[in-house]
Chains A and B, each alone.
Chain A
Amino acid sequence: MTDATTEPLLSIEDLRVHFHTDAGVVKAVDGISWAVMPGETLGIVGESGSGKSVSALAVMGLVPVPPARYESGRILFKGRDLIAADEKERRAIRGKEISMIFQDPLTALNPVFRVGHQIAEVIQAHDKKVGRIAARAKAVELLAEVGIPNPKQRAREYPHQFSGGMRQRAMIAMALALDPLVLLADEPTTALDVTVQAQIMDLLIRLQAERGTAIVLITHDLGLVAGHADRVLVMYAGKVAELGTIDDVYYRPRHPYTLGLLNSLARMDQRRTDRLKPIIGQPPSLIRVPPGCPFHPRCPFATDICPREMPALEPKDGPDHLAACHHSDQVALQQSPAAS
């Protein structure tokens, strides 16, 4: 699906964002590169604390800069480096060309303003010419589009009067109001019930098909990514472990961490008495990242070179399937649990 000659819509090149805190320097994002093509869905997968949200926040310019610092890297959007851009430019992009939705819709919506008003606000913020009535009308339209019944009445209600799923729909309406080119979705379904999760994901996919929005889906849920993304990026300890299409990564994993993640999933066809296979150890603190390859303390394939040298992110199985591991060939010998 990836056409090598198409320009990526949004790309991050070797981004490093470090938080300077009293406890030490937290290397949340330490050399990440990814790109999204128009209309595609990129999944970013990682454990909690892997820094996956921070890269999205960096794109939006929502990382609080006094404790955080952009140590290096570029964020390219439509040819411009967002990091170098001034606040006015970034503000023009936020909500209009790149939007973001967040994990907990209850706290993400302002409790003292009506929902319709909050949606209308986005519209009016980016186009002074739109009047209040027109903006409100558009908001009602959007609520209908995201599947909220009785949109006119609902627009006049407050967030706490909505159910969890409805709130997330409202958030989506707000994010897509101005037809952005990219939607960053940070754990959009984590706070929701499973059945509602499916509905929300369906909604996102439908809207994407209608509008051609690129989606960056950030989650810890491998299953979610498998079902809804075109390509996936696996993150570990602030760095990229593996990057490729769903098929590539799930059926032919080339990084031990990916393999471990796939193995640790509970499956329907497992025998009940089989034990789950977690990855041993704990994810590292981002203040004290292990030297060399950060995964080496937990890696069954690790050798002497692993703590010494950080492996480069290189193609391992075709030009678009990249992994950062010294021993990808070893990993290749293991059969992916997805394939069986």
Chain B
Amino acid sequence: MTEQIVPQAPAVGEITVESGASGFGGAESQAAAVGGITRQTQFGNIRRRFLRNKLALMGLVMITIVFLTAIFAPIIATHPPRAQDLTITLQSPSSEHWLGTDELGRDVFSRIVYGTRIAVSVGLASIFLALVIGVILGSISGYIGKVWDTLIMRVADVFFAFPLIIGAVVIILVVGRGVAPVILAIGLFSWATVARLLRSSILSIRESEYVEAARSLGAGKWRIVTRHVLPNSMAPVLVYAMVSVATAIVAQASLSYLGVGVPPDVPDWGNMIAAGQKFFGFKDYLWFFPSMAVVFTVLGFVFVGDGMRDALDPRLR
């Protein structure tokens, strides 16, 4: 077989500005068009753009902090998270207990620190699950299409009809409380969007000319999918995944708050907030600090997700 010169699909974010483009498009691309510039932007440039975005960088830092806290929780925490001591209940923050104690005498700070483990593991695992299911089904739907497409999309519709929380609640009712059910629940109600995103991405790329060119040069289906279609269609999916982790963490905390998440003595932000609500108004630190923990973590992921999106889509600048 002669060497296959499969035209390299424009990597995500490539600006091949066609000279003579008469689009009114952003002055820069117009200027670039006039100048006949062809900027080949591959991963390196995307990364550079991402890093220039201060918010995205901050997000990265925040996520790292959370991760490290989760990993080194035993070292960072000052007390065992489940150690109850009924003699020191409801104490305000002090040098001994940095963030105070809760109604069972447990150290709030340590529980928050350990809470990162739940948040991170649930967040990542559930979205990973959603990604796996979503990418597989979405690819089949988008690339093979026809009967499978209709079938998969109908099933996705059913899952769409349930808002995340409600659906998760139902699943947990069935399976029971615990970390695994929460992961399953969140993952199950997130894969549908992933699949849809990927499918529409694939659909638009599948018909594009460079894929046609590849096909006409004899590239087999599998090669086309892996080398051309998937890499380019994954971009919006990855951005969505990042933001979904944020949503998942919120969902997880909310579920715990509602009483259907992880069991109550597990150090989890949602649980803490629910418990803390009883003392609204005079022991605010009980719900405030776990809330801040959630916000901090979530914002980190949101910033990174936004940064990724902006870096991958140069037109938005």
Judge A-B direct contact (beta carbons within 8 Å): yes
Interface residues of A (CB under 8 A from B): 19, 21-23, 26, 28, 47-51, 53-54, 63-64, 66-68, 102-104, 107, 186-187, 220, 282-287
B37 at interface by CB-CB < 8 Å: yes
Give complex CA distance A28, B27 in Å.
12
* With contact pairs A107-B23, A186-B22, A187-B22 given, residues A54 and B28 touching in the complex (Cβ less than 8 Å): no
B19 at interface by CB-CB < 8 Å: yes
* Contact A103–B22 (Cβ < 8 Å): yes
B28 interface neighbour in A19, A48, A107, Cβ under 8 Å: A19
Whole-angstrom distance between the Cβ of A167 and the nearest chain B Cβ: 15
* With contact pairs A48-B19, A186-B22 given, residues A287 and B37 touching in the complex (Cβ less than 8 Å): yes
Note all chain A residues with C-beta closer than 8 A to B28: 19, 21-23, 67
B31 at interface by CB-CB < 8 Å: yes
B7 at interface by CB-CB < 8 Å: no
Q: Can you name 14 extra interface pairs (CB under 8 A) apart from A23-B39, A51-B34, A104-B22?
A: A19-B27, A21-B27, A21-B28, A21-B31, A23-B32, A26-B34, A48-B36, A49-B33, A49-B34, A50-B34, A63-B27, A102-B22, A285-B36, A287-B37
Note all chain B residues with C-beta closer than 8 A to A28: 31, 34-35
Note all chain B residues with C-beta closer than 8 A to A282: 36
B32 interface neighbour in A21, A50, A54, A64, Cβ under 8 Å: A21
* With contact pairs A104-B22, A186-B22, A220-B20 given, residues A49 and B35 touching in the complex (Cβ less than 8 Å): yes
* Contact B22–A49 (Cβ < 8 Å): no
In the assembled complex, 24 residue pairs joining A and B whose CB atoms fall closer than 8 Å, in A order, are A19-B27, A19-B31, A21-B28, A22-B28, A23-B32, A26-B32, A26-B34, A28-B31, A47-B19, A48-B19, A48-B33, A49-B19, A49-B35, A49-B36, A51-B34, A54-B34, A67-B31, A68-B31, A104-B22, A220-B20, A282-B36, A284-B36, A286-B31, A286-B36
* Contact A19–B34 (Cβ < 8 Å): yes
Note all chain B residues with C-beta closer than 8 A to A67: 27-28, 31
Most chain B CB inside 10 Å of its own CB: which residue of A22, A186, A285: A285
* Interface size grouping (class) on chain B: 10 to 19
Whole-angstrom distance between the Cβ of A270 and the nearest chain B Cβ: 26
Q: Which residue of B is nearest A68, CB measured? A: B27
* Contact A64–B27 (Cβ < 8 Å): yes
Give complex CA distance A131, B103 in Å.
74
Give complex CA distance A283, B18 in Å.
13
Whole-angstrom distance between the Cβ of B189 and the nearest chain A Cβ: 34
Give complex CA distance A21, B32 in Å.
9
Q: Which residue of B is nearest A48, CB measured? A: B20
* With contact pairs A103-B22, A220-B20 given, residues A287 and B27 touching in the complex (Cβ less than 8 Å): no
Q: Which residue of A is nearest B39, CB measured? A: A23
Residue interface mask B21-47, A partner, CB < 8 A = 1: 011000110111111110100000000
Give complex CA distance A184, B284 in Å.
68
Whole-angstrom distance between the Cβ of B148 and the nearest chain A Cβ: 31
Give complex CA distance A49, B27 in Å.
14
Whole-angstrom distance between the Cβ of B33 and the nearest chain A Cβ: 7
Most chain A CB inside 10 Å of its own CB: which residue of B19, B27, B31, B39: B31
* Contact B27–A66 (Cβ < 8 Å): yes
Q: Which residue of A is nearest B29, CB measured? A: A21
Q: Which residue of B is nearest A67, CB measured? A: B27
Whole-angstrom distance between the Cβ of B53 and the nearest chain A Cβ: 14
For the complex of A and B, the 10 pairs showing the least CB-CB separation, nearest first, are A48-B20, A19-B31, A286-B35, A49-B19, A67-B27, A49-B36, A48-B19, A26-B31, A103-B22, A64-B27
